[in-house]
Amino acid sequence: MRKELDAVIPKLKKTAGSEIPRADSIRMDENIAARIGKIFDRINKRLEEMFPNPLLRKWASSMIGDVNRNAKKNTKSQLNAGARKGEETPDFEPLMHDKKLSPYFQNIVDQNVSLIRSIPGLKMEAFKNQLVSMITNDATQAEIRDAIQNNFAVSRDRAALIARDQVGKLNGALNKYRQQQLGGKRYIWRTSKDSKVRRPRAGKRGPDHFHLEGKVFYWSKPPVVDTRTGRRANPGEDFQCRCWAEMVMEDVLG
C-alpha cells in the first residue's frame, strides 16, 4: 500500500494546486474527494481479495466452535462441583447437544462477517473529509500517507475489538441457553474481581457491574447494569463484558 500511496498522493496534490480557489472552491474539494474515493475503492477491493467471505466465515465458525466447547466444559464443571459429595451427578448430556443451536450459530457467523465488512465503510466518509482538508491545506506527502495508513490500522484494531466483544456475548448467550435447558431460572452474577470491573465514579451514576458481584438474579429479569440510563443486561451482554453467570445449583439439581 505504501508504494501505491506514494504514487497517487502527488496527483492529488496536483489536482488541488491546479484548481482555482475562488467561489467554486467546494467543487475543488469534490474533485479531490472523487480521486480519494477511487483510491479507497481499490483498497477495499484488495481487502476483499485478501479476506474473501469464505475465509471470514471459516474464521468465525472456528471462533464459535472454540467458545462453544469451552462453554459446555464450564457448564459440566459447575454441575460436577455442585453435586453433593458421594452423590452421582445426573446425566445431563442429552440436554447439552447443540442440534437446536445450529441456526443460532449460523446467524452469529453471518453477524461476524457483516460487522467486519462494515468497518471500512463506517469510517470512510468522515476520513475522506479529513483527507480533503489535509490536501487543500498543503499537508506533506508523508503526512497524508501516514494518515491513510493509520486510518486502516485503526480499522484493524476495531475488528479485533469487535471479535473480543462477540466472543464475550456468545459465551454469555451459550451459558444462558445451557443453564435454562438444564432447568436453571436464576444465576449468581460473577465479575473478574479486578480493577477493570465497571463501577460508577464516586457520587456519580453510570455503568456498574462491581456491585452486582455475588447477587442472585433471574434470567428473565436482568439487573440494571447502568444506573444512569436504567439499562438492564445479563452477564456477557454488555459491550466487552467479562462477567459470567454461576448456576444456582438448587434450580438444576433440585
Best CA proximity match to 75, nearest among 183, 164, 165, 167? 183
What's the pLDDT tens digit per position in 227-237?
999 999 999 99
Can you tell me the distance from the alpha carbon of 172 to that of 67, in angstroms, rounded to the nearest whole number?
10
**What value does the mean pLDDT take over residues 55-69?**
81
Same domain as 218, residue 157: no
What's the pLDDT tens digit per position in 151-163?
766 666 667 777 7
Same domain as 115, residue 12: yes
Name, of 15-19, 84-88, 233-237, the range with top average pLDDT. Answer: 233-237
User: Cα angle vertex 168, ends 237, 94, to 5°?
Assistant: 90
DSSP state of 96: G
Same domain as 237, residue 131: no
Same domain as 75, residue 196: no
Strands (E), the chain: 186-190, 216-218, 224-226, 231-232, 244-247
Single out the residue in 182, 208, 223 at which a domain terminates.
182
Q: Which residue has the higher pLDDT, 53 or 4?
A: 53
pTM summary value: 0.63
Single out the residue in 182, 200, 221 at which a domain terminates.
182
Tally: H helices and E strands in the chain: 6, 5
Same domain as 161, residue 204: no
Look up the domain containing 99 and give its range: 2-182
Band of pLDDT at residue 92, cut at 50, 70 and 90: low
Q: What is the pLDDT of residue 10?
A: 65
Single out the residue in 182, 200, 220 at which a domain terminates.
182
Same domain as 115, residue 227: no
Same domain as 74, residue 93: yes
How many domains does one find in the chain? Answer: 2
Q: What is the pLDDT of residue 163?
A: 73
Residue 21 reports pLDDT greater than 60? no
Same domain as 193, residue 175: no
Same domain as 166, residue 221: no
Same domain as 197, residue 164: no
What's the pLDDT tens digit per position in 159-209?
777 777 878 888 888 888 888 888 899 999 999 999 999 998 888 898 999
Band of pLDDT at residue 213, cut at 50, 70 and 90: very high
